[in-house]
């Protein structure tokens, strides 16, 4: 594969990787945004639920106070203010004079006077309180209208609109419940009053909540013969009342909540208003996304990112492997072409010369025949290596491992090895420890050793001494068959590279000794197929290749 094709493949891979990473980044951002919104919606729904429960609790306490006062018959006789939330019970007649009812609180009565005086825009105190009672009636009427007009919430539960509609509906339900309770209490008081004051033929309405001069009151009308005779009121301690209501929710629902006066139904916080008293709840907190809810989504996205990264790395590795394999195959084809061209040219030239009778000298003819035989052996060895490597690649090579004695095994190979070395002007020296036995396949061992001898004959030719040393000795539980030459050797940084298949290019094959770079790769695979190993070691001079095979077990 040429450089231009390689660059094109890598550019395409990078573009695909960028698209995949971009899509994952967009997906991650979208999922995280959706998860944050869902978490925020869940938090908002939880806060709204706590607000509704808090309003129910505070409405219950506030309504209980109103119902209790409605059931009380205010008597002119001195009584003790046993309720700490009540500062003063009083009555204002048509003349505008305020008089305490029950046990008089002089200080509270003094404080009540400027409160009434601060509202002179309504006219007299009596008229002002009539307005306050009217406002109270409007307050209960607003609750009744709210209950009639309340609708079922629509949309997703977590949506803001759903929660607001549900708050309004809940307030309407609370208002209806407390209206009924207050109405029953007022009716019971109306029955009790005529019995206590039959001579007056008076009727008393139900207490209504109202704000007067910034203070909370319960006010009601007292009528006689259909005419308004007086206003009865209950002055509530605003701070004590607020603390009592907030105490109901601050421990487990809304620890930072506060209460503020509720002025109008048009107020933006109408959904937070109590149904029993014109007060509005301020939660003191806002809905925030819960980071812990993102854990599973983040874990899934992390796994997804890891999978994408692993897939991209695997893709790059696969493409790199395919490209390297393509390059190695191209190099192999080029090298084989070069290796075949030289002997074929020799065959053709020598055969033409012999056929034409141009060579009449018997000595020259014998030399020509030896050259043809040597080239034929080289081609045969090349074809044998290629076929053996192909069988190993297809996993069709089967080896029968048996116990062998090293001495006789090497002696049987001596003639072939010496014949190959003789062509390079070299000799063979065999050194084998007596009784050395190993486990392996004789054919595969001979193939490996011949490849090593052939390489030594190519690269160590002309060495001094011109000798190849073949030795066999035991090293632990292995038998090491070593082939050592006295040539230039192999640099340490290149010792692993020589075992790579097809590592020679056509140029390298032309500039170096003949070969396609397949013999050592094949030899190492044959060695590993016999549960052994083939490695290159450095020596004082030359190269040493060691074939390590399992030693035979002693009987």
| Phi, psi at 415, each rounded to 5° | -60, -45
**pLDDT over 80 at 199, yes or no:** no
Which helix (H) or strand (E) element contains residue 249?
none
3-state helix, strand, coil in the chain (%, to 5): 55, 15, 25
Confidence at residue 376, expressed as pLDDT on a 0 to 100 scale: 81
What b/e sequence results for 106-136 when a residue is b if at least 16 CB atoms lie within 10 Å of its CB, and e otherwise? eebbeebeebbeebeeeeebbebbbbbbebb
Q: Please, which residues have CB within 8 angstroms of residue 496's CB and are 6 or more apart in sequence? A: none
Helix (H, G, I), strand (E, B) or coil at 144: helix
Instruction: Give the start-to-end residue ranges of the domains of the chain.
Output: 3-28+298-319, 36-289, 320-550
| Cβ neighbours for 304, distance < 8 A, ≥ 6 positions apart | 24, 28
Compute CA 408 distance to the chain's CA centroid, rounded to the nearest angstrom.
65
Q: Which band of pLDDT confidence, cut at 50, 70 and 90, is reported for residue 191? A: very low
Of 499, 384, 488, the residue nearest 444 (C-alpha): 384
Beta bridge partners of 191: none
10-14, 393-397, 473-477: lowest mean pLDDT where? 393-397
SS (H, E, C) 316-338: HHHHHHHHHHHHHHHHHHHHHHH
pLDDT in tens, 51-67: 888 988 898 888 888 88
Q: How many CB atoms are located within 10 Å of the residue 552 CB?
A: 17
Give the residues across from 161 on adjacent strands: none
pLDDT given for residue 490 in this prediction = 84
CA distance 257 to 60: 17
The whole-number average pLDDT for the span 297-317 is 89
For residues 151 and 241, the answer to whether their CB atoms sit within 8 Å is no
Task: Return mean pLDDT, the chain.
Answer: 77
Q: How crowded is residue 370: how many other Cβ atoms within 10 Å of its Cβ?
A: 11
Task: Express as a percent the part of the chain with pLDDT over 70.
Answer: 73
pLDDT over 60 at 147, yes or no: no
The CATH number corresponding to 320-550 among 3.40.50.450, 3.30.70.3000, 3.30.565.10, 3.40.50.300 equals: 3.30.565.10
Q: Helices 3-71 and 238-247: crossing angle, nearest 10°?
A: 130
pLDDT tens digits, 150-166: 556 655 655 656 666 66
Q: How far apart are CA 453 and CA 469, in angstroms?
A: 10
User: Residue 92: which of 130, 40, 54 has the closest Cα?
Assistant: 130
Encode pLDDT of 411-439 as tens digits. Answer: 988 988 888 888 788 999 999 888 889 99
pLDDT of amino acid 257: 92
Q: Is 236 helix (H, G, I), strand (E, B) or coil?
A: strand
Q: Which residues pair with 481 in a beta bridge?
A: 472, 547
């Amino acid at each position: 594969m040429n450089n231009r094709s390689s660059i094109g493949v890598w550019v395409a891979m990078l573009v695909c990787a960028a698209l995949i990473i971009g899509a994952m980044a967009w997906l991650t951002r979208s999922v995280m945004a959706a998860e944050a919104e869902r978490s925020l919606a869940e938090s908002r729904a939880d806060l709204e639920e706590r607000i509704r429960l808090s309003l129910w609790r505070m409405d219950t306490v506030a309504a209980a106070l109103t119902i209790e006062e409605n059931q009380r018959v205010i008597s002119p006789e001195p009584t003790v203010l046993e309720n700490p939330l009540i500062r003063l019970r009083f009555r204002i007649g048509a003349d505008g004079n305020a008089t305490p009812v029950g046990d008089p609180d002089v200080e509270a009565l003094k404080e009540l006077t400027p409160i009434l005086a601060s509202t002179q825009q309504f006219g007299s105190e009596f008229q002002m309180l009539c307005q306050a009672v009217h406002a109270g009636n409007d307050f209960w009427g607003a609750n009744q209208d709210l209950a009639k007009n309340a609708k079922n919430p629509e949309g997703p539960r977590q949506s803001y609109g759903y929660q607001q509609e549900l708050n309004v509906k809940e307030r309407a339900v609370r208002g209806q419940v407390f209206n009924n309770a207050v109405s029953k209490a007022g009716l019971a008081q109306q029955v009790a009053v005529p019995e206590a004051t039959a001579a007056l033929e008076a009727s008393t309405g139900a207490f209504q909540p109202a704000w007067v001069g910034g203070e909370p009151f319960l006010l009601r009308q007292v009528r006689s013969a259909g005419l308004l005779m007086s206003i009865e009121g209950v002055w509530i301690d605003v701070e004590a009342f607020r603390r009592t209501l907030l105490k109901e929710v601050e421990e487990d629902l809304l620890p930072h909540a506060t209460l503020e006066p509720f002025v109008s139904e048009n107020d933006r916080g109408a959904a937070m208003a109590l149904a029993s008293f014109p007060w509005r709840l301020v939660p003191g907190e806002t809905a925030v996304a819960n980071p812990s809810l993102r854990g599973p989504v983040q874990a899934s996205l992390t796994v997804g990112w890891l999978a994408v990264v692993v897939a991209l790395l695997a893709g790059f590795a696969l493409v790199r492997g395919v490209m390297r394999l393509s390059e190695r195959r191209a190099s192999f084809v080029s090298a084989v072409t070069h290796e075949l061209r030289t002997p074929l040219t020799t065959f053709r030239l020598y055969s033409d010369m012999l056929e034409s009778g141009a060579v009449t000298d018997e000595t020259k003819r014998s030399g020509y025949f030896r050259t043809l035989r040597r080239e034929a052996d080289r081609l045969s060895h090349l074809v044998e290596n290629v076929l053996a490597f192909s069988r190993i690649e297809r996993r069709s090579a089967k080896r029968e491992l048996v116990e062998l004695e090293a001495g006789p095994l090497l002696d049987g190979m001596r003639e072939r090895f010496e014949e190959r070395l003789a062509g390079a002007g070299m000799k063979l020296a065999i050194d084998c420890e007596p009784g050395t036995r190993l486990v392996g396949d004789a054919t595969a061992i001979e193939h490996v050793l011949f490849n090593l001898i052939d390489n030594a004959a190519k690269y160590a030719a002309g060495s001094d001494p011109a000798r190849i040393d073949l030795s066999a000795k035991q090293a632990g539980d292995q038998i090491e068959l070593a082939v050592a030459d006295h040539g230039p050797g192999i640099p340490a940084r290149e010792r692993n590279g020589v075992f790579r298949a097809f590592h020679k290019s056509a140029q390298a094959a032309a500039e170096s000794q003949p070969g396609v770079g397949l013999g050592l790769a094949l030899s190492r695979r044959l060695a590993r197929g016999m549960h052994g190993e083939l490695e290159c070691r450095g020596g004082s001079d030359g190269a040493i290749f060691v074939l390590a095979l399992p030693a035979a077990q002693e009987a």
